[in-house]
Amino acid sequence: MKIFLDTTDITAIAQLSETGLVDGITTNPSLVAKSGQNFEVLLREICTLIKGPVSAEVTAPDHATMLKEAFHLAKIAPNIVIKVPMTQEGLKTCKVLSDQNIMVNVTLCFSALQALLAAKAGATFISPFVGRLDDIGLDGLDLIADIREIYDNYPAFKTEILVASIRNPAHVLASAKLGADVVTIPPDIFSKMFKHPLTDIGLDIFEKDWEKTKQQILKA
């Protein structure tokens, strides 16, 4: 399973990408607003740090302007993925872009039927938002299971399921068990995935016992 970071925080991207475990980045207009930075400057910076897919969202509501924005953003770097909304205009744009081998991430997906249409439109990624479904009392992970089942029924679909709006490490675990292709997670959730209290306790014991041996693996 690929791990993307859902952030515009350059410091976090730089630091966490050093693990070698970050496969890509997703951004959205809200995250850009939160950063207070210029969108294109931000994208250029991210693309110097991350060679995997970097999602950049168009903001126009209509197909013609969306397409112009998409071509503009796609010029920034070869790893830019154009993020389009899960609307009729968005999927029309997705089809044109995917026919030209430009990667597309269809965002704001809340139903399996939407995911079916996005796959037909040639999306590289579909982004179902699990947390926002949980927020309204539904089970976002049911949507991941449904999309997985549908996509597996049609091997011609090449769209990857990119689980978005992840709120906790349990969402990541469940997504992996359901066979999601990608999760996009905020940096703090990525950091939490490394941790277990028994790892810390065990490491402490090993360090203390090693000191008792008075040995060093590397001699000074």
> Catalytic residues, which ones?
83
- Residues 175 and 180: their CA atoms lie apart, in Å, by 5
Of 164, 174, 180, 182, which one interacts with ligand E4P (CB under 6 A)? 164
* CB-nearer residue toward ligand E4P: 129 or 157: 129
Interface of this chain with ligand E4P, residues 71 to 130, rule: CB under 6 A? 107, 127, 129
* CB-nearer residue toward ligand E4P: 131 or 169: 131
Of 8, 98, 114, 165, which one interacts with ligand E4P (CB under 6 A)? 165
Q: For 70-83, give the DSSP string.
A: HHHHHTT-TTEEEE
Interaction between residue 175 and ligand E4P (CB under 6 A): no
* CB-nearer residue toward ligand E4P: 8 or 204: 8
* CB-nearer residue toward ligand E4P: 142 or 204: 142
Task: Name the nearest CA neighbour of 117 among 83, 89, 136, 79.
Answer: 89
Tokens of 55: 């999602």
Residue ranges with strand state E in 73-210: 80-85, 104-109, 125-128, 160-163, 182-185
* CB-nearer residue toward ligand E4P: 27 or 98: 27
Interface of this chain with ligand E4P, residues 35 to 74, rule: CB under 6 A? none
Q: How far is the CB of 26 from ligand E4P (least distance, A)?
A: 4
Query: For residue 98, what is the enclosing H or E element?
Result: helix 88-99
- Residues 186 and 3: their CA atoms lie apart, in Å, by 10
Paired residues of 83 in beta bridges:
57, 105
Q: For 4-66, give the DSSP string.
A: EEE---HHHHHHHHTTT---EEE--HHHHHHHTS-HHHHHHHHHHH--S-EEEE---SSHHHH
Of 3, 5, 17, 26, which one interacts with ligand E4P (CB under 6 A)? 26
Of 132, 179, 181, 187, which one interacts with ligand E4P (CB under 6 A)? 132
Binding site for ligand E4P (CB under 6 A): 6, 26, 28, 107, 127, 129, 131-132, 164-165, 184
